[in-house]
Amino acid sequence: MQIDIIGVPIDLGADRRGVDMGPSAIRYAHLQQRLESLGYVVEDKGNIEVPIAEMCKISEPKLKYIDCIVPMARRTAGAVATSLQAGHFPLVLGGDHSVALGSIHGAAKHRKLGVLWVDAHADFNTPETTPSGNIHGMPLAALCGLGDPRLTALWDERAPALDPRRVAVIGARDLDPGEKRNLKETGVLVMSMEQIDRLGMVRAVEKAIERISRDVDGIFLSFDMDSLDPRHAPGVGTPVPGGLTYREAHLVCELVAETGKLLGLDLVEVNPILDVQNTTAALAVELAMSALGSRVWSG
């Protein structure tokens, strides 16, 4: 199988600058070489064109930089759709989590998709519920059909990209009141850190995979590095204490790999300005390896 690396250097969806350098940091951590060591053919497709913040204006405070984010998402969707059409595996490097608007729209084109969203946040706000107006807090809601039509439709007027009943959030521990209501009303499965503590990571992830893999053409894993505890991933813009451990994060990726249904992967929210010796970017590479089949022991 060929893996296509697609960089999306965007920080317009977030409040803190610097996450636009995430794709470079992950590449610098030997991403391509490590993936090739697993036997894959790897082609780096370069970066999607993204304007810098100084070129964009906030015309709508509840949808900051939407006029620049939507074209980025469309270009990303096109790149991912093209990769999958060629029979390749798209590996999308963020950038903030608004990149998933594009990556998952592209992956869902002409197919039923199950999505595992690994994140400290559910990113399930709408313009009516957002406390910040930051679009990186809205992509999953938009993909499920909630929010501004420019985000939900993106490139056509068809049904939402995702069926909320085939979406699961893993590792949530910082949810806004409005997005809690949205999640309950749509039926998205949320495995919070409390539930992970109660059930254990294996059972929690198995429950999520069982839900999202019913009657689908494949699974997309969207992995936000702030899902990990800041001790393990210091280089993120919105750290929240009490997150996944190093081993729990790997276990999520390993269990997804075992399904044999993974067809695409996001790695997002690596902020090199806040990182310590590129630790978070290096961990992102390791997690990609686990999601793509790397094991310590396979006997």
Q: What is the pLDDT of residue 297?
A: 67
State which amino acid sits at residue 9. P
- Chain centroid to Cα 262, Å, comes to 14
- For residue 146, being part of any structural domain is answered with yes
Pairwise CA distance, residues 17 & 22, whole Å: 11
User: Which CATH number characterizes residue 172's domain?
Assistant: 3.40.800.10
Q: What is the pLDDT of residue 55?
A: 93
pLDDT per residue as tens digits for the range 73-132:
999 999 999 999 999 999 999 999 999 999 999 999 999 999 999 999 999 999 999 999
Sequence-distant (6+) residues with CB within 8 A of 210 are none
Q: What is the pLDDT of residue 15?
A: 84
Q: What is the pLDDT of residue 13?
A: 94
- For residue 298, being part of any structural domain is answered with no
- For residue 299, being part of any structural domain is answered with no
- Residue numbers annotated as active site: 97, 119, 121, 123, 136, 224, 226, 269
- Total domains present in the chain: 1
- For residue 296, being part of any structural domain is answered with no
- For residue 61, being part of any structural domain is answered with yes
The secondary element (H helix, E strand) that includes residue 168 is strand 167-172
The SS3 of residue 55 is helix
Q: What is the pLDDT of residue 218?
A: 98
Q: What is the pLDDT of residue 159?
A: 77
Q: What is the pLDDT of residue 91?
A: 99
The stretches of the chain forming alpha helices (DSSP H) are 22-28, 31-36, 66-85, 99-107, 139-143, 149-152, 177-186, 193-199, 201-212, 246-259, 279-291
- For residue 297, being part of any structural domain is answered with no
Residue 116, domain extent: 2-291
Residues of the chain with pLDDT under 50: none
Q: What is the pLDDT of residue 32?
A: 98
For 164, the token pair is 């909320």
Q: What is the pLDDT of residue 16?
A: 87
- For residue 239, being part of any structural domain is answered with yes
Q: What is the pLDDT of residue 98?
A: 98
